[in-house]
Amino acid sequence: DPFSSDPERHPVLRVNCKKPFNAEPPPEILTESYITPHVFFFKRNHLPVPQVDPASYRLKVEGLPGGALTLSLEDLKTRFPKHTITATMQCAGNRRSDMNKVKQVKGLNWGISAIGNAKWSGARLRDVLLALGYGPEAAQWARHVHFEGLDKDETGTAYGTSIPINKAVSEEGDVLLAYEMNGEDIPPDHGFPVRVVVPGVVGARNVKWLGRILVSAEESGSHWQQHDYKGFSPGTDWNKVDPRSAPAIQELPVQSAITAPADGAVIDRGDDTLTVKGYAWSGGGREVVRVDVSLDGGRTWQVARLRSGDDGQPDEPSPPPGRAWAWKLWELTAPLPPEAEELEIVCKAVDSSYNVQPDTVPPIWNLRGLLSNAWHRVKVRVAE
Ligand code: MTE
Ligand code: MO
């Protein structure tokens, strides 16, 4: 069994698939802390978790003028400044279950918790590429940076993807070769000893157990870059889908969801007020500037309070424009509407480009169930 050496996982996780291991935390746990503890951070593995010995670990870097180079973990930690960012990571399939309710799609049936927020520390990819010879000459032809994991399928093919060169070398891109998550060694499920963190970009490009980096004129030819993680029209079905017709997903669109109360919860009529909680985030470093909440299915709206720190603690300092990599947690306490027997609670976020979420799923439905970011709705009952 290639999965026999997979790590232990927290029993509270909701498992979507055991082998490979894919799981998410219960929604209400997700917004209990601004920084997601690694045990509750969603796990999305395509293959068995590779066991990597940190002492013999080598990262290959290829495609630069100096030819192929290798870096040890020690090199990464000592030769380059340590940089820390707080960044939210979201799987392209987060909230896929909402698409399944409209019409069956292919993929793991994620709820709303295939997302997490962590503090990542490591060497900047930019610093490593520059130190190894990236410069004006390479900039003439280089367009993409490929990443390959040490996890391999039965045919020996490693998980791999790529990102555009601009994101990789920009001073504002904050792409990390991370060796710490929340101040500790990256746990095995999240890429020990080194993973790429590409803030603002879909989870799929944040390659774990990083084994190889390649600077290239071409995009990665991998299955995950060319055939998966792309968006299509609601009218496209499996008979006529042409993967070449769509670009690979990189920056994600604006997203928000309600983590409490849970769908189907029963609220006590005797409570004067109702508290609604959730998260909101947007890709590309766009900051969430507002979250609107409705208790009546979208007829009337109230503005939620946003925070970027733990409840009762000071917020993290505001990020520079275009570098808002971390989510906002939000909360609204409002009078319980009198006489209502059922409430349809809805949330929607607005980002710094004034992008908004679509109100319903059908216009964004797609056969893989990706980019599911319609207004999130939960129904609760009010009882005596
Ligand atoms: N990297 C490798 N090497 N193998 C993988 O299966 N899954 C990707 C990405 N990086 C994956 C990977 C996907 S689709 C996502 S959403 C994120 O890792 C999930 O990261 P996490 O498990 O740390 O939450
Ligand atoms: Mo993903």
Does the CB atom of residue 159 touch ligand 1 within 6 A?
yes
- For 270-326, how does the pLDDT look when each residue is reduced to its tens digit (9 = 90+)? 998 999 999 999 999 999 999 999 999 999 999 999 999 998 999 999 999 999 999
Does the CB atom of residue 61 touch ligand 1 within 6 A?
no
Q: List C-alpha distances in Å: 98 to 148, 291, 369.
A: 31, 20, 9
Whether the predicted pLDDT of 329 surpasses 90 = yes
Whether the predicted pLDDT of 67 surpasses 90 = no
Q: Domain tally for the chain?
A: 2
Does the CB atom of residue 199 touch ligand 1 within 6 A?
no
Q: What is the mean pLDDT of residues 327-355?
A: 96
The pLDDT value recorded for residue 88 is 98
Does the CB atom of residue 22 touch ligand 1 within 6 A?
no
Which residues lie at CB < 5 A from ion ligand 2? 44, 91, 203-204
In which domain, by residue range, is 222 found? 14-245
- Which of the listed residues 245, 278, 300 is the one where a domain comes to its end? 245
266-268 and 305-307 beta bridge pairing: unpaired
The pLDDT value recorded for residue 345 is 98
- Ligand 1 centre to CA of 90 (Å) is 10
Ligand showing the shortest atom-to-Cα distance for residue 49 = 1
Are 113 and 149 members of one domain?
A: yes
- Ligand 1 centre to CA of 31 (Å) is 21
Percent of the chain with pLDDT over 90: 97
Whether the predicted pLDDT of 66 surpasses 90 = no
Ligand showing the shortest atom-to-Cα distance for residue 151 = 1
Cα end-to-end distance, the chain, whole Å: 53
Are 111 and 27 members of one domain?
A: yes
For the chain, the farthest-separated pair of C-alpha atoms sits apart, in whole angstroms, at 73
How far apart, in whole angstroms, are the C-alpha atoms of residue 167 and residue 34? 26
Length of the chain: 384
The pLDDT value recorded for residue 302 is 98
Are 233 and 278 members of one domain?
A: no
Are 224 and 278 members of one domain?
A: no
Contact criterion met (CB below 8 Å) for 44 and 114: yes
Q: Is 350 left (phi over 0), alpha (psi -120 to 50) or beta?
A: beta
Q: In the numeric block, which tokens belong to residue 341?
A: 């027997």
- Which of the listed residues 245, 273, 304 is the one where a domain comes to its end? 245
The pLDDT value recorded for residue 320 is 95
What CATH code is carried by the domain that includes residue 263?
A: 2.60.40.650
Are 128 and 83 members of one domain?
A: yes
Does the CB atom of residue 50 touch ligand 1 within 6 A?
no
Q: State phi, psi for 349 to the nearest 5 degrees.
A: -110, 155
Does the CB atom of residue 41 touch ligand 1 within 6 A?
yes
How far apart, in whole angstroms, are the C-alpha atoms of residue 265 and residue 96? 21
The pLDDT value recorded for residue 384 is 86
How far apart, in whole angstroms, are the C-alpha atoms of residue 362 and residue 365? 5
- Residue 216 burial by Cβ neighbours in a 10 Å radius (0-12, 13-18, 19+): middle
User: Nearest C-alpha to atom 13 of ligand 1 is from which residue?
Assistant: 204
